[in-house]
Amino acid sequence: MQVPVRLLPGAIADLFAQVSMCGKITMADRYGLMAALLEDDLTEEERNSIDRLLHAFCRGRMHIVDKISMIL
């Protein structure tokens, strides 16, 4: 039995704000993005936020870290 992946409301906005502030994307953040991309009903604002995160990564403004979370 396959479990459906569902995001919490506002998860993309929170993820975008956190990653933009610290300039690092964690393993948990990457799984959140993967879950978001697997959803069929993202809003245009959420899609734009994901595009902006990917653009920041391509430009070197964001770095991937191997930590689970940035919360200590």
* 15 in a structural domain: yes
* 4 in a structural domain: no
* 1 in a structural domain: no
Q: What is the rounded average pLDDT of the residues 58-63? A: 92
* 17 in a structural domain: yes
* 70 in a structural domain: no
> What range defines the domain where residue 33 resides?
11-64
Contact, 34 vs 11, CB < 8 A?
Answer: no
**This prediction's pTM:** 0.76
Domain count, the chain: 1
Q: Which amino acid is at 63?
A: H
Q: What is the rounded average pLDDT of the residues 29-46? A: 85
Phi, psi of 47 (to 5 degrees): -65, -40
* 3 in a structural domain: no
Look at 46 and 2; give whichever has higher pLDDT.
46
pLDDT at residue 48 above 70?
yes
